[in-house]
Structure 1
Amino acid sequence: MKCVCLHHPEFIQLLVSLILSNFLYQASPKLAGTVNWGTTTVIGIFDGMLYGGSKEAAASVSKDAEVTLKLGSTKDKREQYRLMRDAMEKRFIRVTRGSIVGGVRLGMFTAAFYGLQNLLAEQRGVHDVFNVVGAGSATASAFGLILLGSLRWRARNMMLGSVLGSAFCFPLGNIAIFLDTLSAQIVDVTFADA
Structure 2
Amino acid sequence: MNITQLNFCKPEPADGPALHALIKRCPPLDTNSVYCNLLQCSDFAQTSIAVKSADGGLLGFVSGYVPPGRLKTLFIWQVAVAPECRGQQLAKRMLHALVRRVSADKGIAYLETTITPGNQASEALFERFFNDLSAPVETSVLFSKEQHFNGQHEDEVLYRAGPFIVQQSDTMQNSTTQTH
TM-score, structure 2 normalization = 0.24
Bigger fraction of residues in strand: 2
Greater C-alpha Rg: 1
